[in-house]
Structure 1
Amino acid sequence: MKKVTVIDYLIERLHEIGVDDIFGVPGDYNLSFLDDVEKSSSVNWIGDCNELNAAYAADGYARKKGVGALITTFDVGELSAINGIAGSYAEHIPVIAITGAPTTKVQENKKLMHHTDATGNFKRSYRAYKQFTETQALLGFENAGAEIDRALTTAIIKRRPVYISLPLDVAHSMIDAPSAPLNLTVQNTDHNKRVAQRLVDELKKAKRPVILAGNEIMTFRAKTEFENLINQTHIPVATMLLGKSSINEENPYFIGTYYPNYGDKRVLNYVDQSDLVIVFGSKLIDVNTGSFTQCFTQKETVVLNCDNTDFFGEKSRGVNINNLIKNLENFDYQFDFESTGLNNVTPDVKYEDNDDQELNLSQYMYAFKNFMKPDDTIYTETGTSQYGLSFMNLKKGVDFEAQPLWGSIGYTLPAVLGSQIADPEGRHILSIGDGSAQMTIQELSLIQRHHLKPIIFLVDNDGYTIERVIHGAHAKYNDIAVWDYTKIPAAMGITEDTMDVSVATNKQEMLAIMDKIADDRSKAHFVILKTKALDAPELVKKIGKSMSLIDKSHFYGEE
């Protein structure tokens, strides 16, 4: 049997499941096995500015490629990354979080080491990661290969992050090379089959069924199969915010993005008056339900996701979305879509242009809708960009990414770069505000180092606009430092040949810039949109006001 080092075994298995690039930051507990990563012909090393950015980038990579990985050093590095891993856990993104650890003897002898709290406790970070990863593997000399296989298989099947702790001495020990590919088949259980049968039984009784499509359709890589199911059954389908682009929005059975009180009234009325609402691959969280203002009730609702199944309040364990779709395809059922009166509905996405002299976000979002092309990958930052752009109808093949559930501001900038590393030929667009950008903007340096070509629209309006429209419109805590964003790329060593920088202060300048860069794939584009503080489209203002009222009623007892 061929022998390999544990780190080479791990690299081989990572490559097998689809990881070609590993993100991270070097530290003295991982340096020696980063040598092996650099020597490998199977994976590339992507050095990030900090561990949190590396976790965000690995998440973006995983959304595009199916799985991502990062390597950090012990305690200080892995704890820096944990917020990013927690977001991946919340939104079902499989990221392999690998940390370099002190040697087994150091840990067994409870040596008082740097990058620890000097108590001899080497499991504090491991215990923290237990809260935000599907499984954890503490590699030793006897179990390394089996534990690597178990962790990676879990990540792929469960579509959630896993944690691998790799001590320095274990990393270079010799073990048997992989003898067979990993078994990544998910068993089609009797429970899954029973759920499918019951769902079809309920559909046959329903007069006004609707599917609210969620994020697990994307994270479980089931978009094609789900659309085939919709084409077979003709069930009306709307997406939720946590699930935007889970179906081709040019599909004839797509009726819009569902968010209570916003959107096409015919669509809202149909969903709210449906006698069978199927939440498919998601949950009825606040960002999917307009802070729980949906009109349908538990007695009309079926919720199906990997964590749990709920038929009208009757709960049971979760289902695998891929197998559920396969089981549903075997049934003879087709709905009379024409009876809905929703044929050829063009959802009212409420994007209205204007001719104001000063640039405003209504002009930008109206123009953005026209700037979009088929097969784009679009990232929208938590806040104004996400809420403002989530209601536009997407062109075929568009991959719309955001982080509406976890909502960590600054996430999208490293994530869109990670996504582009996974898909270097795809057109990637980011819409981000200045407040969020200030959290992670140093990661722009990846553009020069790895020849990336994203299009980045940065809205420069002096603060946290989404927070202002929710609460504290003129409060100092919603202000941020004034930066000259035009100088940041040069400060990071990004040349004009690699990325151009443009500034728009009015509609005409913005449209001219968009026209110039739309088809230019020779370099990256950084577009700074100067708007007033408190500028937000009416849609965002209404959503912000609604969130404010709900927050007060939930937390302060106000009506």
Structure 2
Amino acid sequence: MPDIRTSELKDPVDVAEYLFRRLKEVGVQSVHGLPGDYNLVALDYIPKVGLDWVGNVNELNAGYAADGYARVKGISAIVTTFGVGELSAVNALAGAYSEYVPVVHIVGCPSTISQRSGMLLHHTLGNGDFNVFSNMSRQISCATSLLNDAHEAATLIDHAIQECYIQSRPVYISLPTDMVQKKVEGERLKTPLSLEFPPNDAEKEDYVVDVVLRALHAAKNPVILVDACAIRHRALNEVHELIEKSGIPTFVAPMGKGAVNETLPNYGGVYAGDGSNAGVRDRVESSDLVLSIGAIKSDFNTAGFTYRVSQLSTIDFHSNYIRVRYSEYPGVRMNGVLRKVTQKMGKLNIEAGPTPSNTIPQAERDSKDPTITQAWFWPRLGQWLQASDVVITETGTANFGIWETRFPKDVTAISQVLWGSIGYATGACQGAALAAKELGLRRTILFTGDGSFQLTAQEVSTMLRNKLNPIIFVICNEGYTIERYIHGWDAPYNDVQTWRYKDLPAAFGAKEGEAKTYQVKTKEEVEKLFEDKEFADSDALRFVETYMPKEDAPVALKMTAEASARNNARLE
């Protein structure tokens, strides 16, 4: 017997079509993931609605790739299968949750009939509990939508995607096999999802703006410190208006790299406590007012908790509250406050800050040693980068080294400083390169260590499959350098097998002209590479074995590793 409620639909649309059309509406063009028997029919709808299927080599890499895609494009989607597939992606999605990255995770599930009857199906624990995996994911999702009823499906889909975007965190959508082709009201698709942030209460916002302005006008030498949540919670337009109009010396935390136009005259460099760029720590810590925007004060983001900025001289701007010294104003989002502060601030007291550059340190310029060192490489890289590059750095020497690189305009920087999952960057590079291609950006550049690369190297195969052309620098320094500095310098667990890295594109099926490989062991060879115009701007994937000494590391990494070792060894 036909369902009366379904027969009353004005424009019946299959649940899976509705879901993927909504994803396309909010900016997703490519869907990451892997096939599995519980999601196969749903996957047929991806090309039907004009989306592209990426097809990753495993779910962990797919999750990293979806994370990288979302950081460039604004939101992403990944499809896995029930149990075995979704659990393989959990680490990547936990990282996205930790670092406020909006990823829609769609899980193809056994039918609602199978679930109700507790059938002993493959990919289950054999105990009849079909909610165990979704319950795991609840802890790393800002919304969980189980599409077990067609009459609620459209509402649940809309809610999940809106929450994903607005809260900038992963959501979980389960799609049982018998729900894929059930009908929902397609008329809803004529009304675009509202992705606007709820406005602040006007009276409360104006009060907070006045409090901030009083503190700002009283300050003698204010500074601005921008961190990751300014990016994740989409406040960069307001941040840049404030920076440019005010002229206040502006600094970024490591996780905030790329948030600020580093060519601005009042950009001062990276502040990370003792690991700061030259002159930055003294300028920030001597300030009588720090406008801290979107801060995440984790250990690796503060060079081992070496911040020395008093809350008495700090105003914190966040997505759900403002804190002025020790007074907190909950429920007030930073975007509106920053906009009004910029409009009303008038003339301020400004004391200039340091001006970072990509000048190679004098000791490196004087050295006759041809070896590529961390201290030489990262400033030299800054001279070679171009405007609008997408730069991805792995947790380790690359992530800490990039602090010493002053970016050109509009560079997008991607790193996973808080979650710090080894191997993240190579997977993220695939997603970021795909998103960059969709946006018309020419260059995506990855820097990863040999140890990290070995965890997710297969994603180079996905890059080739999708005709992507990132530039990949694998830093060959004999294993896990950051781990060595924390503990076990000569321990075998910090060693890795030596691979012939530049042979991998061919092994992964690169056709003639699809990949170019290089090997650099000296500064002179790096110079020649950076001067090579074909290398700088090619349609081919470029893969560079870059050799650096095992014992070499950026100074900030050494400091942070020492702090980690102390924290790890601390006793009650």
8 Å Cα contact 2:270-2:277 kept in structure 1:
no
Going from structure 1 to structure 2, the CA distance change for 1:436 and 1:297 (only over 3 Å counts) comes to same
Cα distance in structure 2, aligned partners of 1:313 and 1:111: 56
**Does residue 1:433 correspond to 2:449, yes or no?**
yes
Deviation at 1:126, TM superposition (A): 1.0
Partner SS state of residue 378, structure 1: strand
8 Å Cα contact 1:264-1:347 kept in structure 2:
no
1:168-187 map, 5 Å: 168-177=177-186, 178-187=189-198
Q: Output the amino acid matched with 1:554.
A: N
> Which of residues 125, 134, 138 is equivalent to 1:130?
138
Q: Output the amino acid matched with 1:227.
A: H
8 Å Cα contact 2:142-2:171 kept in structure 1:
yes
> Which of residues 102, 124, 127 is equivalent to 1:94?
102
The residue number in structure 2 matching 1:422 is: 435
**Does residue 1:388 correspond to 2:388, yes or no?**
no
> Which of residues 504, 508, 515 is equivalent to 1:488?
504
The residue number in structure 1 matching 2:5 is: none
Partner SS state of residue 179, structure 2: helix
Partner SS state of residue 457, structure 2: helix
The residue number in structure 2 matching 1:215 is: 228
Going from structure 1 to structure 2, the CA distance change for 1:270 and 1:482 (only over 3 Å counts) comes to same
Cα distance in structure 1, aligned partners of 2:412 and 2:474: 20
The residue number in structure 2 matching 1:103 is: 111
Q: Deviations over 1:318-339 (max 9, x none)?
A: 54333333332332333232xx
The residue number in structure 2 matching 1:203 is: 216
Listed as ranges, the gaps of 5+ residues in structure 1 are: none
Deviation at 1:228, TM superposition (A): 1.3
Partner SS state of residue 404, structure 2: coil
Going from structure 1 to structure 2, the CA distance change for 1:453 and 1:30 (only over 3 Å counts) comes to same
8 Å Cα contact 2:360-2:379 kept in structure 1:
no
The residue number in structure 2 matching 1:112 is: 120
Deviation at 1:49, TM superposition (A): 0.4
Going from structure 1 to structure 2, the CA distance change for 1:181 and 1:370 (only over 3 Å counts) comes to same
Q: Deviations over 1:62-94 (max 9, x none)?
A: 111111101000011111111111111111111
Q: Deviations over 1:450-469 (max 9, x none)?
A: 11111111111210112212
1:513-552 map, 5 Å: 513-516=529-532, 517-536=534-553, 540=554, 542-552=555-565
Cα distance in structure 2, aligned partners of 1:28 and 1:454: 32
Partner SS state of residue 283, structure 1: coil
> Which of residues 4, 7, 13 is equivalent to 2:13?
4
8 Å Cα contact 1:376-1:397 kept in structure 2:
yes
Deviation at 1:346, TM superposition (A): 4.9
| TM-score where L is the length of structure 2 | 0.92
Partner SS state of residue 47, structure 1: coil
8 Å Cα contact 2:14-2:184 kept in structure 1:
yes
1:206-245 map, 5 Å: 206-245=219-258
Partner SS state of residue 299, structure 1: helix
Going from structure 1 to structure 2, the CA distance change for 1:344 and 1:543 (only over 3 Å counts) comes to closer
Q: Deviations over 1:389-436 (max 9, x none)?
A: 122211111112111111111111121221121121421111110011
Deviation at 1:200, TM superposition (A): 1.8
> Which of residues 144, 147, 155 is equivalent to 1:146?
155
8 Å Cα contact 1:379-1:400 kept in structure 2:
yes
1:51-66 map, 5 Å: 51-66=59-74
Cα distance in structure 1, aligned partners of 2:249 and 2:200: 27
Deviation at 1:548, TM superposition (A): 4.0
The residue number in structure 2 matching 1:164 is: 173
Partner SS state of residue 142, structure 1: helix
Going from structure 1 to structure 2, the CA distance change for 1:58 and 1:349 (only over 3 Å counts) comes to farther
Cα distance in structure 2, aligned partners of 1:419 and 1:92: 16
Cα distance in structure 2, aligned partners of 1:349 and 1:336: 33
Deviates more, 1:231-240 or 1:503-512: 503-512
| Alignment size in residue pairs | 552
The residue number in structure 2 matching 1:189 is: 200
> Which of residues 37, 49, 53 is equivalent to 1:40?
49
Deviation at 1:159, TM superposition (A): 1.2
1:258-407 map, 5 Å: 258-306=271-319, 308-317=321-330, 319-337=332-350, 340-342=351-353, 346=357, 352-353=364-365, 354-407=367-420
Q: Deviations over 1:281-309 (max 9, x none)?
A: 12322223222222222222222222554
8 Å Cα contact 2:32-2:54 kept in structure 1:
yes
Partner SS state of residue 339, structure 2: helix
Identity %: 35
Cα distance in structure 2, aligned partners of 1:270 and 1:50: 46
> Which of residues 508, 511, 515 is equivalent to 2:527?
511
8 Å Cα contact 2:272-2:306 kept in structure 1:
no
Q: Output the amino acid matched with 1:499.
A: A
Cα distance in structure 1, aligned partners of 2:569 and 2:328: 31
Partner SS state of residue 49, structure 1: coil
Cα distance in structure 2, aligned partners of 1:396 and 1:35: 41
Deviates more, 1:517-526 or 1:150-159: 517-526
Going from structure 1 to structure 2, the CA distance change for 1:291 and 1:314 (only over 3 Å counts) comes to farther
Deviation at 1:375, TM superposition (A): 1.4
8 Å Cα contact 1:299-1:313 kept in structure 2:
yes
Deviates more, 1:84-93 or 1:511-520: 511-520
Deviation at 1:133, TM superposition (A): 1.1
8 Å Cα contact 1:58-1:415 kept in structure 2:
yes
Cα distance in structure 1, aligned partners of 2:376 and 2:562: 27
The residue number in structure 1 matching 2:82 is: 74
Q: Output the amino acid matched with 2:319.
A: C
Partner SS state of residue 409, structure 2: coil
8 Å Cα contact 1:349-1:391 kept in structure 2:
no
8 Å Cα contact 1:435-1:463 kept in structure 2:
yes
Going from structure 1 to structure 2, the CA distance change for 1:415 and 1:182 (only over 3 Å counts) comes to same
Partner SS state of residue 72, structure 1: strand
**Does residue 1:499 correspond to 2:512, yes or no?**
no
8 Å Cα contact 1:256-1:347 kept in structure 2:
no
Q: Output the amino acid matched with 1:292.
A: F
Deviates more, 1:23-32 or 1:465-474: 465-474
Cα distance in structure 2, aligned partners of 1:272 and 1:320: 26
Listed as ranges, the gaps of 5+ residues in structure 2 are: 1-9
The residue number in structure 2 matching 1:409 is: 422
8 Å Cα contact 2:70-2:101 kept in structure 1:
yes
Deviation at 1:260, TM superposition (A): 1.5
Deviation at 1:344, TM superposition (A): 5.3
Going from structure 1 to structure 2, the CA distance change for 1:315 and 1:224 (only over 3 Å counts) comes to closer
Cα distance in structure 2, aligned partners of 1:307 and 1:15: 28
Cα distance in structure 1, aligned partners of 2:132 and 2:360: 48
Partner SS state of residue 310, structure 1: strand
The residue number in structure 1 matching 2:7 is: none
> Which of residues 455, 461, 469 is equivalent to 2:485?
469
Q: Deviations over 1:251-285 (max 9, x none)?
A: 12211111222445543212111222222012322
Deviates more, 1:11-20 or 1:283-292: 283-292
Going from structure 1 to structure 2, the CA distance change for 1:522 and 1:282 (only over 3 Å counts) comes to same
